[in-house]
Amino acid sequence: MEQWNAEQISNCFLRQAEEAERYCKEVKSKIKTTTSYERIYDEHMAKFYVYNYLHGRSFLVNINQLITELETMLEYDVKPSEYYDLERFEEYRQLYINHEITRFKNT
């Protein structure tokens, strides 16, 4: 197992949040022409919410605390500021959280 590097993990989460935010901005303008982009927007907004929450946090001190927080996040009642379908947003949010749980449990 690689040595745990909280700063590197945090920076990775930050980059993913920034990427998702940029994509949301890009997709938002396309929704005006076709509503099929609403699904993509909800997915990337969920991704933004997950990764933006994770970076720069004290629970990144070790892998066990991160996994515990990820598992706790599954229970959070999140009310995003923007979305098109709250149920779809939540499905994607849970998907990204579960992906990270699996990734870090298999590290």
The whole-number pLDDT of residue 83 equals 96
List of residues 6+ apart from 17 with CB closer than 8 A:
47, 48, 51, 52, 54, 55
Q: What is the pTM of this model?
A: 0.93
The whole-number pLDDT of residue 5 equals 96
pLDDT over 80 at 100, yes or no: yes
pLDDT over 80 at 85, yes or no: yes
The whole-number pLDDT of residue 39 equals 96
Q: How far apart are CA 21 and CA 3, in angstroms?
A: 30
For residue range 9-66, list pLDDT tens digits in order. Answer: 999 999 999 999 999 999 998 998 999 999 999 999 999 999 999 999 999 999 999 9
